Structure 1
Amino acid sequence: MEALQKSMQNTPPKASSHVMWWGTLGTVRPFPNFNSEKDARDIQTALESKDRDMNTLVRILTNRNNAQRQSIAESYHNLTQKELCPALKKALSGGPEQLMLGLMMTPSQFDAHRLRQTMEGIGTDEESLLAVLCTKSPQQLKDATIAYKQEFGRYLENDLISETSKDFTKLVLAILKKEELNSKEMVDDQLIDQDVKVSVLPQSPKLPPESSFN
């Protein structure tokens, strides 16, 4: 899973940047001579083959960066009039399905699923929750918050309040409001206290989760 996370990160900032977020240090570079239409055709052939050509799927999707994978998905739709992720889910199962679906997520979708995982089940995995929140830039946190609502029909801030307690709740909410800190404005502790005490808003109906993240 850690390797998958690294493959989905954005391109590193230029060397002249004064601030470098660990969440932007990707390991997969753009594939040279990239042809999304050819990749889409090869993936279609692999999925339609009798034994499901996993070698082709792995070779293509693990050697393209995230932007290129999204371009492949668009070309696949233009070619077949079908969405790539449902096609992968239908053709694969188990570990291969989990890997391929994970690779096809945008970085913000991937972060949203990781955040949800930390709060599922009995108790919250506080260490993993902090690992996600603390390694993201303000914009990445904003994108993950939007993706969280789109993926699960739930509000991230509400879930953080309901699934954490006391001082830890204040900490994660302050991190989530990192954009305010980044602009040199102090986070109002009283407002955070108010957020923690306020009743959690009714959640929207939960969307069917990706089976690979159950």
Structure 2
Amino acid sequence: MPAADAAPALEVLVVDDNPATRYATARVMRAAGFSTQEVATGQEALDQARGSMAAVILDVHLPDIDGFEVCRLLRQASDTARLPVVHLSGAYVQNDDKVRGLDLGADAYMIHPAEPALLVATVRTLVRARTAEDGMRRSEARLREIYDQREDMLAREQAARVAAERLSRSKDELIAVLSHELRTPLNAILT
């Protein structure tokens, strides 16, 4: 039984029209510590991927929308554009198929039946890479925010310096006028 404060398992979407293959793939991923959702069609994949998925294992041969198109559509949507996608196909196994899948946005292309350890390692690697990239994006955004705040602070400091210099000149002028006015009556008395 997991500890009460343990992080929830990362969720992987398994998309395959063959129930036995879908079940076997999901079982491998669950044994590796992932939670899974299973769907049989491209449209279901598009609908489910919009959640909090860590990755998608996507068959190419699907009954409604082929996996190539599903991957392309995932890459076009802002909320799924960076979601790791692993094509897993037993039908589209030629190098041209692999190239097409990768060109349309898949992060990896594996042939079914895939070695379970290799599939798990591939998904873990892609999830780690995405997590690192997300961290870098957050750090970059934070650094940009700090830089912008610094620029604003420097602009305010420069404006305050200009205002202080203007006040200092006004003070000097006032002292000069007062000094002159105070000496003028005394000059008449002294002469």
TM category, shorter? under 0.3
Q: Report which of the two has the higher share of strand.
A: 2
Q: Bigger radius of gyration, 1 or 2?
A: 2
TM-score w.r.t. the length of structure 2 is: 0.27
Larger RCO (CA within 8 A; separation ≥ 6): 1
